[in-house]
Structure 1
Amino acid sequence: MSLYPLKFQPILKDKIWGGSKLKTVLNKDFSPLPNAGESWEISGVEGDISVVSNGNLAGNNLEELIEVYMGDLVGDKVYDQFGMEFPLLIKFIDANDVLSIQVHPDDELSKERHNAFGKTEMWYVIEADKGSELIVGFNQEVDKAKYVAKLEEGKLEEILNNEPVKKGSCFFIPAGRVHAIGKGILLAEIQQTSDVTYRMYDWNRTDDQGNPRELHTELAVDAIDYSFEKKYRTDYETEINKSKELVRCPYFTTNTLEFDKQIEKDYSQLDSFVIYMCLDGDFTIESEDGITTEVTKGETVLIPAALENVILFPKGKTEILEVYIK
């Protein structure tokens, strides 16, 4: 059976800090969850493997597709490296309240402790309420002793870097960098396939039963990168009808693409799948065999590696993120 642009059933996650924007802004209005905080758009995480929702392959999950199509789906190089495990987890996140302050271990520490990959990720802000902020990194030189002292004194916020954000703000979060998504922010998150998170502080919140959420303060101490950066925000340029790079790292490359006319994409030199996350507008994908796939705001599509050429037809001005491994 020939491959074509694949959509998947979103996996929605109820979160104590979740809100309604996944439904009202990104059209996840089928969600029964009162506080939908995350929509896992494409996932190979065990227990949450994405299932195809369109075309002849509907009902098959991502792992089954990789088993059958291998490099034709993900790219030969990607398949050789990751085998049956899809290497990226693609999410939309709606923070109606601030998330916990957290950190993710790197590949080495994750393998040692959890037999898992680490988690390097990036954020791209889709919408932000006035005054919204992210926490990214430290605001001064910090070492392990200073961090532990501030944590024990209940003064961790004093050494954390707050970043005001607006639509289009972009941040790269390598494993080890302390971070938290602030209240009133809707964003796209691209990350390694990993669900390993260490919570360092959770604002003294409790769940419906009055219990505090689990913290991982001791695990976090050795996972944190204590280095101080003068600038954490990612600067980039946009140009209408051209893909412009946001982030490139060993785990993924992400571009932004705003277009209002037909775009032809040639991926013949790229040995990887490509993912489109539609942030605004609607468009049609036409693949080499003439198959057309309609994509609307809030949808995510995987272009198999075997599809080397596609044409994108926007319906008015459209904005997408374009993700692949290089």
Structure 2
Amino acid sequence: MYPLKFNPILKSTIWGGEKIIPFKHLATEQAQVGESWEISNVPGDESVVANGTDAGKNLSDMVKEYKGALVGESNYQRFGDNFPLLIKFIDACDDLSIQVHPDDELARKRHNSMGKTEMWYVIDNAGGKAHLRSGLKKKITPDEYAAMIADNTICDALADYTVQPGDVFFLPAGRIHSIGAGCFIAEIQQTSNVTYRIYDFNRKDKNGNTRELHTELSKDAIDYTVEEDYRTSYTPEQNKPIELVTCPYFTTSVYDLTENMTMDYSELDSFVIYICMEGSCTVTDNEGHSLEIQAGESILFPATTKEVNVTVNEHVKFLETYV
């Protein structure tokens, strides 16, 4: 097997901006692209391979064909034919609705789905104006939560952050959150499309209708724990891996490289994904397959990859994630 690129799945939204198309160097007139699904196995939105002998196959076909050779033997035993991660770029020109996602147990019981634990890496912040919400800043009960939805005061209970490029937020299932206006982020999450909409600022569509809220469903899904700071603390450093998040669903590090580097994956029983956010580089695996990757691109190395040589073109910054 060889390193895989996929055709992006572009989604125009009412809150979408205009950053994704130039960021990804795409030739399309599609407007208000709020999301680029980089690597997806969500039913109906399966990514299609863009390069090599497997070009034209979707990710679902690839997992069924290559099994553990693609995802790792332990991952295949755990997830079967379901690729476990969904990778996105998100560009928010307006505030998204306030949401929460169920954990595995609740999602399985209610929706026959995996839960959704996720993380955000802030790429751009609209010149310092971007903000997001993550977690509760004061203790409330489920009944108080429902009352705050009803009287439009739920935002008073949420931690609100002005964000900078490089900020990281880990969002375990159950944590209330919302991407705010001006955020341009990379998102890594479990493969799940189950979202409970908590609050939508009473916005109305063109027909004057408000969107459905899932107040009762979300009451049982929320983790009401209050933490002092929901931002992930780390110290940026060049030319070495900086681990950002490790959890049962993914491990993610950031690389900010001005020098070439060799990655040793010989002991890792998993695929590896690079999500490039700045600059460019050439990646070459242990079998001699080479690909160039630049800002706005994502690449999937199959679990058979033992080593990756990264040749930097002046500078490159990317996220590395695996299960």
Is the TM value for this pair above 0.5?
yes
Tell me the TM-score normalised to structure 2 length. 0.97
1:57 aligns with 54
In 2, the alpha carbon distance for the partners of 1:89 and 1:217 equals 26
In 1, the alpha carbon distance for the partners of 2:202 and 2:192 equals 26
State which of 88, 102, 105 in structure 2 corresponds to 1:108: 105
Counterpart check, 1:223 vs 2:221: yes
Q: How many residue pairs end up in the alignment?
A: 322
1:88 aligns with 85
Tell me the TM-score normalised to structure 1 length. 0.96
1:166 aligns with 164
Q: Point out 4+ residue stretches in structure 1 off by more than 4 angstroms.
A: none
In 1, the alpha carbon distance for the partners of 2:137 and 2:287 equals 53
In 2, the alpha carbon distance for the partners of 1:245 and 1:216 equals 35
Q: Tell me the CA shift for residue 31 of structure 1.
A: 4.0
State which of 70, 81, 85 in structure 2 corresponds to 1:73: 70
Counterpart check, 1:42 vs 2:26: no
In 2, the alpha carbon distance for the partners of 1:49 and 1:82 equals 16
Q: Tell me the CA shift for residue 215 of structure 1.
A: 1.8
Counterpart check, 1:10 vs 2:8: yes
In 1, the alpha carbon distance for the partners of 2:156 and 2:256 equals 38
Contact 2:107 2:114 in 1 (8 A): yes
Q: Which amino acid aligns with 1:64?
A: D
Q: Which amino acid aligns with 1:103?
A: V
2:180 aligns with 182
Q: Which amino acid aligns with 2:249?
A: Y
In 2, the alpha carbon distance for the partners of 1:96 and 1:31 equals 19
**Could you report, residue by residue, the CA deviation over 1:95-126 in whole angstroms, capped at 9, with x for unpaired residues?**
00000001001111101110000000000000
1:30 aligns with 27
SS of the aligned residue for 1:242 comes to: coil
What is the percent sequence identity of the aligned residues?
Answer: 51
Q: Which amino acid aligns with 2:125?
A: A
SS of the aligned residue for 1:34 comes to: coil
Q: Tell me the CA shift for residue 206 of structure 1.
A: 2.3
Q: Tell me the CA shift for residue 131 of structure 1.
A: 2.7
Counterpart check, 1:250 vs 2:248: yes
After superposing the two structures, state which structure 1 stretch, 250-259 or 33-42, moved more.
Answer: 33-42
Structure 2 stretches of 5 or more lacking a match? none
Contact 2:146 2:215 in 1 (8 A): no
**Could you report, residue by residue, the CA deviation over 1:137-169 in whole angstroms, capped at 9, with x for unpaired residues?**
111111112212211111111111101101000
Q: Tell me the CA shift for residue 33 of structure 1.
A: 2.9
Q: Which amino acid aligns with 2:129?
A: G
SS of the aligned residue for 1:93 comes to: strand
In 2, the alpha carbon distance for the partners of 1:211 and 1:23 equals 30
In 2, the alpha carbon distance for the partners of 1:33 and 1:155 equals 36
Alignment root-mean-square deviation, CA: 1.1
In 2, the alpha carbon distance for the partners of 1:43 and 1:294 equals 21
**Could you report, residue by residue, the CA deviation over 1:241-278 in whole angstroms, capped at 9, with x for unpaired residues?**
11110000000000000111211011011100000000
SS of the aligned residue for 1:317 comes to: strand
Q: Which amino acid aligns with 2:274?
A: Y
Q: Which amino acid aligns with 1:232?
A: Y
Counterpart check, 1:153 vs 2:181: no
State which of 205, 209, 213 in structure 2 corresponds to 1:211: 209
SS of the aligned residue for 2:221 comes to: coil
2:142 aligns with 144
Structure 1 stretches of 5 or more lacking a match? none
Contact 1:16 1:207 in 2 (8 A): no
